[in-house]
Structure 1
Amino acid sequence: MQTRRDFLMRATSSAFLTTVASRTWAEPEPPQSRLVARQASVQLAPSAYPQTEIWGYDGTMPGPLIRVRQGGRVVRRLLNDLPQATSLHWHGLRIDNAMDGVPGLTQQAVATGASFDIDFVAPDAGTYWYHAHNRSMEQVARGLYGALVVEEPERPDVDRDEVLILDDWLLNQDTAQIDADFSRSHDRSHAGRLGNFIATNGQYDHSLDVRRHERLRLRLVNAANARIFELALSGLNGWVMALDGMPLERPQPLSDTVLLGPGQRADLFVDVVAEEGKTAYLVRVDNGEGFVQSAFPVMPGSSNARVNMPDPLPPNPDMGAPDLAQARRLRLHMGGGAMGRLRSAVLDGERRTFREMAEANQFWAFNDMIGMTDAPLAELSLGEPVRLEIVNDTAFPHAMHLHGMHFHEIATDGTLGPLRDTLLSYGGQTREIAFVAHNPGDWLFHCHMLSHAESGMMTWMRVV
């Protein structure tokens, strides 16, 4: 089992498995293909350890990379070959509500041996991902996820386009098997299920050969149950081009670190500036110390040198700002968890003390309500602008994900931040977001620290 020290920045490039992964421009999607959720064994840990039993789409880790052009159709038949019912959510995509994959809200869970037909048009270019949304704390932790890339109509000026899915796994240190206790009260009431084995694309020693002066597009996806990734560059100069799939108005130079909460994504353009024979790194920062998340050994030869800032990515449709003066005001108060001040809340229609909540393994509440309710947080009219105040009255961070729509954060001076679909909120913070309710249907709003969602942090909105 790897230790934190194994991934110090002084690690040499010889410690990493070298792979080459060039990408091609997306071909048209086939009329229909299968996506099978099934059990499999993969070599997650080093070769001295046995293979790890996972649940994966088509038995791979991560699941198949799906690439489609903007405006293209994604057609899949999800087949469930697991011992549990499952479903499939397309995270960040503004698609038809019937394709959102939330059991009990948009569809029934897909039973063992059954199938579900997926068919939607991808309206927005950007980096998205798909993952299980039934018993998601367990099923995502076992490996049920993959990336969906929706490509711009014209190829951006980059040499390479690479997807890096970041995750942590909670493994037994002797057997390298996934810890099967998914109901641990500590995980549910504290920071969530944190793994002891950190990987990129299912590889603990992820590495890509590069050439000096190459410009890479790195599509970063945080698929972890609860881990917040703080990331920096070494031997690379970079810009943040898009967040949660949505392009920024102007590229933002990456001079410090970028934070990715669970479910969040970032598109970086990076130029390789490390010398030939050296290694550049995507660095993970933990408690002020740097560890290698991905390595980029610099091979002989060089690409055409670029010194210019990249042009912005083209905007997606319907990225306009809501009218804040006309916006409907809503409030979401997050309470509970260990070291919190929640004394009681409503669970299954009855008010319970916090002790009674803990006995039911439920620890969190939104507006004094635990888990999904019969009535939505709000019923919104199509096209209605909304301002939602989110009060994190807990001791822990939460990654609040809104299905089906993107939002802007409202700064203290009233300006609007970039479009996101997941907001990382730290304990004690009050944040405000604004969006236009442009997508009809019933949309989940929940914490993407998935053990928090399982233990109370879920609600929903209806757009009619």
Structure 2
Amino acid sequence: MTIGCATDPPAQPEGWDSAVALRPAVDLDGRPDVVEVDLTARVEELEIVPGKRTPAWTYDGGLPGPLIRARVGDRVIVNFRNELSAPTTVHWHGVRLLAEMDGAPGHSQAETPPGGSFTYDFVVLDAGLTWYHPHVDSAVQSGNGLYGPLLVEDPGEPAALGDELVLVLSDITVRDDGALEDPDVGGNLGTLFGREGDLLLVNGRVNPVIEARAGLRQRWRIVNAARSRYYQLAITDHRFTRIGGDGGLLEHPVETEMILLTPGERADVLVAPRGAPGSTLSVRWVPYDRGYGATFGRPEVEAFRLRLADEPAAEDEPLPEVARAIGALDTAGATRVDLKLTLREGPGDLVMGINGVASWEAEPLVAAVGETSVWTVENTMAFDHPFHLHGFFFQVLGEGGEPVRPLEWKDTVNVPVDGGARFVVRYDNRPGMWMFHCHILDHADAGMMGMLNVVR
């Protein structure tokens, strides 16, 4: 038995993260710079609601899929097998890989049929939390449970930022008999709003409890994997320190009272819980007004809890400097891309589009390797849209064309009602066809999607 001494640093309670622990992917390759894993999409009966068995769509039988860990510069090999009854692909959201590994069916790779397999092989160039999900019938397949995290670590990051948690946020609806909700529930109105599940999920669990020691920082690396739900999180009398986002660390940290994540976005935040020993803090989902009816009659919901250890508050180490040198992209001479997010009126199924054209009717945009473009995305609808560009990080611009501070690399940006978003992107040497779309996946499947052909 080891007895701690007075000089032992304070620590989180034993088993503090067990309620949200993610299954690690098993690395099959012994080389230090290669991560090789097997990944299988299949239906598995899970107990999402106590006492009910739900046939969820899963990666490797769990919800979410396994946590794949790699370091910057590693080669990642994923031996994917499809045991579903439908074709699928795997898109690696936020990874700057080659187009043929991006999982965009009909453009960068063929669909993987039932019983088929595909090997994804790419190098991870950037630190940060990324994630994986399908790009065939995306709203249904992701909504049924197909999503998982990929964390790329940078050994050069400052130490002692906080005890780390990867948190995959999503939602799902389970019927009284344990079955999943009909993916087309609500018809055109469901598509217009974007279908949200009744149950909030944190790493596949409903309202889990994380143990904590008052005064000790925790580092939450969060991804919003929901098909449509915006996640806005708050803790009464607490503030968050956001140190990173989609593409890794920010230029410098910022403090905020709430964390807002549109579908597809990531956040890297520090939180130091405070309160009486033995008390519980509620981490609440706060409705976000993303358009007509989005907050009407909707109460705040407890997403998960922090239970403080029954011992005095600890004094944490001082926060080390967290800064990243990010150069602003030069917009002088940049080409322009002007897009409008649109809704087509008429009978039949709801059809959305970009510049009035549904994705299945649209011609690709064309750009050249080495080109810099300023994109202006205008929203003509009564709902916000999270706009995602595959394959490339960009920098968001303010109304005057100046970069938004603190600088950060993004791949998903919110386009508000009666407004727009502007960003600048430089196409590095990875030619091919790249998707861009609304990451409310019901909207993408309804036509709000397009392709960018980057050529040499």
Question: In structure 1, which of residues 421, 427, 440 is the aligned counterpart of residue 431 of structure 2?
Answer: 440
Q: Does 1:409 align with 2:419?
A: no
TM superposition shift of 1:133: 1.1
- Which structure 2 residue ranges, 5 or more long, are not aligned? 1-15, 288-294
**Deviation of residue 388 (structure 1)?**
1.1
CA drift of 1:444 comes to 0.2
Count of residues in correspondence between the two structures: 421
1:298 to 293, 299, 308: 308
Shift of 1:199: 1.3
Which one of the candidate residues 40, 47, 50 is aligned to 1:43?
Answer: 47
Match of 1:7 in 2: none
Change (3 A) 1:202 1:184: same
Instruction: Provide the rounded CA distance (Å) in 2 between the counterparts of 1:243 and 1:412.
Output: 21
Partner amino acid for 2:261? L
Report the Cα offset of residue 453 of structure 1: 0.7
- Report the aligned-residue RMSD: 2.5
Query: Hey, what does 2:203 align to over in structure 1?
Result: 201
**Residue 160 (str. 1) matches residue 163 (str. 2):** yes
Report what 2:12 is aligned to: none
Partner of 2:290: none
Matched to 1:371, the amino acid is S
Say if 2:422 is the partner of 1:459: no
Q: CA deviation at 1:72?
A: 1.2
Q: Is the 8 A contact 1:22 1:160 kept in 2?
A: no
Structure 1 residues 268-417: aligned runs within 5 Å: 268-286=269-287, 287=295, 289-301=299-311, 305-306=315-316, 308-312=318-322, 314=324, 320-336=327-343, 342=344, 354-355=345-346, 358-359=347-348, 361-373=349-361, 375-376=363-364, 378-417=365-404
Q: Which residue of 2 aligns with 1:221?
A: 223
CA distance in 1: counterparts of 2:33 and 2:168, whole angstroms:
22
**CA–CA distance in 1 between the matches of 2:340 and 2:22?**
46
* Residue of structure 1 equivalent to 2:233: 231
The separation in 1 between residues aligned to 2:282 and 2:152, in whole angstroms, is 26
1:330–1:388 CA contact under 8 A, matched in 2: yes
**Alignment partner of 1:139: what SS?**
helix
Distance 1:201 1:148 in 2: 13
Any conservation in 2 of the 1:396–1:426 contact (CA below 8 Å)?
A: yes
Contact 1:447 1:458 in 2 (8 A): yes
Structure 1 residue 182 displacement after superposition: 3.0
Q: TM-score when scaled to structure 2?
A: 0.86
Query: 1:148, CA displacement in angstroms?
Result: 0.6
Counterpart code for 1:38 = R
| Amino acid in the other structure paired with 1:274 | G
More strand per residue: 1
Asked if 1:429 corresponds to 2:395, the answer is no
Query: 1:405-449 CA distances to partner (integer Å, 9 max, x unpaired)?
Result: 111221123321232111111221122111111242211000111
Q: Which runs of 4+ in 1 moved over 6 A?
A: none
Instruction: Give the aligned partner of residue 171 of structure 1.
Output: 174
1:208 positional shift: 1.3
- Cα separation, partners in 2 of 1:29 and 1:426, compared to 1, 3 Å: same
1:59–1:18 CA distance, 2 compared to 1 (3 A): closer
User: Do the aligned residues in 2 keep the contact of 1:251 with 1:310 (CA within 8 Å)?
Assistant: no
Identity percentage of aligned residues: 32
Mapping of 1:78-97 within 5 angstroms? 78-97=80-99
CA distance in 2, matches of 1:168, 1:117: 29
Change (3 A) 1:32 1:150: closer
TM-score when normalising by structure 1: 0.85
What is the SS of the residue equivalent to 1:283? strand
Partner amino acid, structure 1, of 2:140: E
Q: State the Cα deviation string for residues 88-114 of structure 1 (Å, max 9, x = none).
A: 001011111111001011000001111
Q: Paired residue for 2:19?
A: 19
Q: In structure 1, what is the Cα distance between the partners aligned to 2:35 and 2:353?
A: 44
**Does the 8 A contact of 1:237 with 1:273 survive in 2?**
no
The gaps in structure 1 that reach 5 residues or longer are 1-15, 337-341, 343-353
